[in-house]
Structure 1
């Protein structure tokens, strides 16, 4: 009742004023003392009849119009919901090939990281004198990353899943690239240092020093790159994060296949609410 009164406050106020106004007018003009009062009791009785009839007609018209507007709004809302559900259904179905391709790529990433971590642990266990720092510099063979599969990410309906897949695959690409590099022993540096001590010509000395500096910088950069990527891998628990993303992706694939096999309106509404 309170809700109805709140939504019809203007109508109720107008009705109340319309009812009170003739009463006030009657007391002011039809009191028998006012020279501005016209007509007798029958005249005012007829006025009241036509006036109240007009009010009732206006009220009925108002409620009919209000009801029609509400019904039209409900129909439009229902139509909009149906259109959204239909669009959501089509886009959800269309994403299945992309999901399967990304699942394959993410599985390769997980397996690649598991293999690299396992190989590193094996080397640390077998070679007792091998330090953590040295283990970062070893070359580990990794699976090839197909960057072309990243184009499928835009097909994924869930934005949060899109972001997670992108982050995980991008990291794996950098991880794979870094740990697959082999840090050269740079025997050339030993030769250059020996040569530097035996050369007297200043111009030639400068050239050798420049060459040594370039090789040392390259070596330090490569070692730092490999160390940093391994530290990110462990500190940010990348393997566990990627496995979690893969689980979410597999769940999305299962839901999509379920919709294809048996479209469910409630499941569609749930998907629409989550996105």
Structure 2
């Protein structure tokens, strides 16, 4: 259809002009018919040439604009992909660094909790271990310390459970950490049960003072240190180095 329209545009103007020249109206025009035919031929030829240039130029402009838009869109998509990859790397690095901080806080809380229990064992041993060398003031002081420690240990348990939840949550985002998170959770349950049993019995010092190194609490503390060390050395540190390296390479 488009080709047919172009054919008509090329064919009709000469035919129309040949018919118009024969009209009575054009008999008043100065000059010869041949001259007018030449004029109108040149005039129409110029119009057709200008129209052709306009059509070709418009088409070229549209094509060029299309190419530019495609280039801009492609560059935008590439930039968006780079930003998303950088965000992914940064998010992974943040999660790993957060894991470091949680593990550090977890171990610090365990240490403080264990230190409090050591004080509890020491004070109960003085009071109920057959040592009557303390004064009434010292007895009141020891009992007040024991009461404060037993009240505080509920806060330690709450904090340890909250940190354990954070460790479990972070393990969902970082590969190869779920095993360690589960082991830490199991050890924590046993540690808390042992702690509760120790605080309930004012004579628990008998078990913990006989051989403190072999006590269940110390065993759990050693397991915590072992698990967290393996987690940091075998998983988190290599992953952190890898993500930082990948992020730097992607920026280049």
Q: TM-score, normalised by structure 1?
A: 0.34
Q: TM-score, normalised by structure 2?
A: 0.36
Q: Which is richer in helix?
A: 2
